[in-house]
A and B are shown apart, each in its own frame.
Chain A
């Protein structure tokens, strides 16, 4: 199984800051990597798939990069509505696995 390790587990940043979340896979998984945003009481929302492809309707301040074992989600200018928990997901093969999550708050 491919284990996904996310860091940091939480962060606090100011509105307008650039925020970076990393996800490391225990073995190479090409670009079969997705990022989700989850707000309390809601299902996750797909932001990025194939490591760097922005899902339709997602604001362009979100971007993804990386390949192999190291991946990054970047929010170029943090907005109040971005307060949420973010998860990476490996979907190269079953079992599909998620990172532990990164909780993003406003300072």
Chain B
């Protein structure tokens, strides 16, 4: 069965960077785009971008351009999302989510990683 397992919670200071991992299993990792979505406490869902694990191509939401980097390691079926120059309003749960073969809807999600930015 498809599983996406994310790395654990992080506490960071403003200005630092965080790198969240998402290990995929149960399917061909290079066959589906991996997306990252975040959710601030008590708030809605915000799409950050996607990575094509096959080619390494990425597409980032304009809001995060210049601060986010999505990468992958196909040898261990893992996608990464690194966010730099963290601010307090980056405090959120970060999710990886896999799209389907025919759409960018998300049937599979990681469990989420809480990133807290605090001085």
On chain A, which size bracket covers the interface? Answer: 20 to 34
- Say yes or no: is A43 at the interface (Cβ < 8 Å to chain B): yes
Specify which of A44, A49, A55, A97 is in contact with B109 (CB 8 Å cutoff): A44
* B35 located at the interface, meaning its Cβ lies under 8 Å from any Cβ of chain A in the complex: yes
Knowing A43-B111, A100-B44, say if A94 contacts B103 (CB, 8 Å): no
Query: Chain B: how many interface residues by the 8 Å CB criterion?
Result: 22
Contact B110 A94 (CB under 8 A): no
Is B112's CB within 8 Å of the partner chain A? yes
Q: How many residue-residue contacts, CB under 8 A, span A and B?
A: 52
How many Å lie between the Cα of A61 and that of B95 in the bound state? 28
Residues of A with C-beta under 8 A to B27: none
Known: A34-B105, A95-B47, A98-B47. 17 other contacts (CB 8 A): A34-B103, A43-B111, A44-B109, A46-B106, A49-B100, A50-B105, A87-B44, A87-B45, A89-B45, A89-B106, A91-B103, A94-B61, A95-B62, A96-B35, A96-B104, A98-B45, A98-B46
